[in-house]
Amino acid sequence: MMRYIMSYGVALMLLLLIAGWLASGTLIQGGNGPENGEQAIIDLIEPGEEGPVRKLFISLGLISQPQTLEESGTGMAVAENNTDQIEPVANMVEEKLQSVRTVRFNAQPMNIEVAVRGQTEANATISVRAETSGIVQELHVSKGQKVEPGDLLCTLDRGTREAKLAQAEASLAQAEITLERARADFETNASLREKGLVAANTARQYEVSLTSAEATLRAALASLDDVKTDLEHTMVRAEVGGTIQDPLANVGDMLGNGDICATIVQLNPMLFSGKVAETKINLVQIDQPATVRMVTGQEIAGRVRYISSSADPSTRAFELEIELDNSQGTLLDGVTASASIHVGTVRAHLIPQSTLTLETDGTLGVQIVVDRMARFRPVEIIGDDNNGIWVKGLPTQVDVITLGQEYVRDGQLVDAAPAGTETQS
């Protein structure tokens, strides 16, 4: 029996020692920073400072007696003295200004251009057609050859046309003889009637004969002209200058009246054809200068010569043509190109794209310096080129923050210094 009492006593003593050891420690809550979040375990077991458990642990020497306000006064005074020493240092940190670099920009004229995409087109494509029928006897041109007005393109077989010409000439000679005879008979009859040697009613007969002979002569002349014209049409000639291309007849082809002998492309002047969006059509006018750039790398100046008065129903865009000088023959038909039509100028600033920043509400703008203070100014992008972007909305002369604009806010004092000695204008 005594053994059991001793065993339970020893166990109870061990429990008290373990509890006292745990209660004398502290509980640390993470995430509160250094020296924060620590709490004595005894305060969790018994919040009150006069509880029986706390008194028991104090009497056993497991935890220490709590300090009074007077005892801790010295520590508080030291803490207050340390606080007084930290505040000037903090003020010195707050007074240090953010360093930024600026560049001065001046407003300058910017060309306003309307961009158009399209392709080059020949000024005209003419199909030279035969005006009579016949077999192509000789072809005088080849594809790619340049021709001038009046140059011979095709020669057709004359066939029986020369025989018809001789017959028409003979008919004309016979009509002329008949007319001379009818005119002499009419004059003789008139003389005899004046002398009273023939009846007056005989005049009608000679008048009809004379009129008939005159009509026969006119018919013979018309027939001869037709035969001559038909014979001339066997020689197919160019009416305009240009370059020969397909379709082109071959020797031995049978051409009917209206069939194509050759095709002539007029490449000077060359045209650029494209479409302008309806939102910009009011900016474009006839005779405005333009610059056309080919995908081949060629660049040539021209002028607007045609603007459609009605929009394409499917795209709501207006067709436009720009005339280009191609006297050197370097421009080709059907090449993809883009045109910039110069419609005017506006004063704006050319700034680096890297200077752009966003306000908290998403407004696009730049940070500038006014009286050592950063100021946010919204801008509108109106163009770009290889040197930067064109914006409007800034004063005529402005110091734009080019380095450090991401670290300042509107109204903040800054330590601004020029980014370089050069002044951009």
Residue by residue, pLDDT tens for the chain (425 residues) are 556 566 666 676 666 666 655 555 555 554 454 455 566 665 656 666 666 666 666 666 656 666 544 444 544 444 445 545 545 444 444 558 899 999 999 999 998 889 999 999 999 999 999 999 999 999 999 998 999 999 999 999 998 988 999 999 999 999 999 999 999 988 888 888 888 888 888 888 888 989 999 999 999 999 999 999 999 999 999 999 999 999 999 999 999 999 999 999 999 999 999 999 998 999 999 999 999 999 999 999 999 999 999 999 999 999 999 999 998 889 999 999 999 999 988 899 999 999 999 988 889 999 999 999 999 999 999 888 888 999 999 999 999 999 999 999 999 999 999 986 443 43
CATH 2.40.30.170 in the chain is located at 260-345
Rounded to whole angstroms, the Cα distance separating 53 from 45 reads 9
Candidate CATH numbers 3.20.20.80, 2.40.420.20, 3.50.50.60, 2.40.110.10; the one for domain 98-109+347-418: 2.40.420.20
CATH 1.10.287 in the chain is located at 158-233
CATH 2.40.420.20 in the chain is located at 98-109+347-418
CATH class of domain segment(s) 158-233 = mainly alpha
CATH 1.20.1560.10 fits 260-345, yes or no: no
